[in-house]
Every structure is written in structure tokens, then in C-alpha cells.
Chains A and B, each alone.
Chain A
Amino acid sequence: MAALTADDLAAIASRIHDQNASWIRVGMSTCGIAAGAERVYAALEDELQRQGAGVQLKKCGCLGMCAAEPLVEVNIAGMPRVIYCRVDEACARDIVRGHVCGGKLLQDYIIDMQSEDAS
């Protein structure tokens, strides 16, 4: 592949950027994996397929709330963007069935933090 130019960056960015799309992110750094994020990821993947939900599933790094891993951040069009904590496989399936497909937020799993993010 030929070396990238500065213009290529913008092209790649616009290809990837799809802010409105629905997505699920799973924290998969050492802290998340140690807490079972790999099993959660597999459960989400499997359940999304079963339900035929067209949601992008993504492996990400650590959000910082390591004591509350595995963390799953969910952004579904028309719903508030939330982070679920201490997710296990059953909860992962509930997220897909309840939140993604049913339009319901799960009780007792949401974690929030006070932060200002940089652009």
C-alpha cells in the first residue's frame, strides 16, 4: 500500500464516522478481561446474532472504572447512551433483548461518572 497522505486521513475518518449508528462497546483491557469481558463479548455477539439486531459491537480499552468491570457501553438510537457495569453473560443477553431490542434500560446495572471529556 502506498504511503498515506494527509488528505487520506480525512477520507478514512469520514468513512468510519457514523455518529448516529447504534453500537455496543465492551471494555477489553486487562482489567476488563480479568473480570470476564471476553465471555460477555461472546454472549453479546451471540445474542445480537440470534436477535438479528444490526448493532455494531466493538472491543475497546478501559474506561477507568476498573472495580466495576466488565463495562458495556450501549448507544441505541432514540435511547440515552449508558454504561452497564459488572456485566455477566446473563446480563449481556438481557442488554440485547431488553435494551437493544426492547427499548428498556436495565435496572441496577447502570454506572455513571462525573467527567468532562476533551475533544
Chain B
Amino acid sequence: MIIATINGIPVHVAEGTTILEAARQVQVKIPTLCHHPDLPPTAACGICIVKVQGSNKMLRACCTPIEEGMNILTHDPEIVEVRRTVLELILSNHPNDCLKCGRNQSCELQNLAAAFGIREELFPKFISGIPKDDSTNAFVIDPDKCIHCGRCIEICQELQQVWALSFLGRGFSSRFAPAAGMRLVESPCVECGQCSSHCPTGAIFELDETVKVWQKLQDPDNYCVVQIAPSVRVAIGEAFGMPPGTNMTGKLYTVLRRLGFKAVFDTSFAADVTVME
């Protein structure tokens, strides 16, 4: 057990606990950006810095194990100013097209900017203008929106062991991309989707065909049918604010018919058949 204080509040935590985790235990919120609870810290963004009494350095809360007797300060004018400057720097390298972005309202960078009350731009914008990669039927990669958190690469290489994504180049012109700069469709990508579900911004986003579907449904010459995967009946509930795990099968069928699909097929029928065999 380690005893330390955070903003004067005593904490008792197991050895190896990071400052970030310890702070959560005593309801102190340290802002983060690159950190993701599923993944080891990449320590890339520099937003979660805190002060430790007796040192004039600032340490990253996400990856620094708390030590016995540490007195940690998470907020003071200097820390907040540094965090804010880092955030402004990141924003200076990020397009302002939130309204058109697939991640609008579910973007971690957007949330952080809102939390810091960013209202104007302190630094000129520098966007590399690297073209999007929409070579697969699954995702669109938009390198300009990448904040270099490294989550997708960590997931792709270490968790999934696919090694389709990596960082290329260095410095300001470094970017995440399919290895060796190929298009995603030519890369070893298996379209597992882990990268896009961990991306904090709109840099990796599922290919969106909603508009095409609406067009087909409204075309009287088309006979539209739909088939749903087993997981959707539960996942959709969460999107509508139901408690996790709520089964929405009936509602889902109804909605799909009301949207204009002439027939609704369910993959789980075939799944059940498979199980019975």
C-alpha cells in the first residue's frame, strides 16, 4: 500500500497505481486526451501533467506510478496555463470542420476544447493536407484529424497483432498510416474496427453510407430489404440511452419497416440454426 496526497487529499493505493488512477479514486479529475483505459499509456499529448512537491518538473499523470509520500498538485495557474497552451497547439494542427465531421459531438478533442472554454485561436493553423484514404469499404482515414495519440497503432500492433497501422516520418510531418505508406486496402488490415472505435477524433471513422440508403429507400423502383447482425439489437439500445444489455429486437424490426424496408432479415436465425446443428 502506498500513501500519498493529491491536492492535499490523502490517498491509499496499491503499488504501481498511476497518479491518474489514484486521482480518480479521490474524485479528482485530471484532464487527459491520448489516454484510454483499455491501453497502456503512450504519454503523447502532455495534457495530464501534474506537479509533485519538491520538483520543478511536471510529470504525466497517465504513466507515472505514484510513490510513497508524494504530494501531488493537479491544478494551479501554471499547470492550467501549460495544459491550455498544449491544447491550443493541438488545435492549431486540427481542422475546424466539426460540423461536417463524423465524430461531431462524440469527439474527445472537441469535448476538451469545450471544457477549456476555447473561444479563439491563439496560433495560426497548420494543416498538412494529406489526402484521405477511403480505399476500403469499412473506414475512412483522415490523417489531418489525427492528434498522434497512438491508440490505433497500439491496438493494431500490440492487441490485435495485425500491424496494419504505424507512424511514418518524423517531427511535424510524421503521420499515422498503413505501414510503408500503402493504401489501407493493400495493407494487412482485417477491418476489425478496433482502431476506429478507439480513435478520439475523426481521424479514423467508419465509412458512412446513410445518405445512399435514404436515396435507395426513396426510389420507388427499388425493393429494399435489410438484414441485421445479432449484436445490433443490443447496441442500438445504448445509443438511445437504454441501460446496457436491453434487448430491442421488436422495436428494431418495427423501426426498419417504418423506414421503408420491405423485408427485414435477421442473421440470428441462421445463427440459431448453426447452433442447433
The reply, when asked whether chain A contacts chain B directly with Cβ atoms under 8 A, is no
Binding site for A on B (CB under 8 A): none
Binding site for B on A (CB under 8 A): none
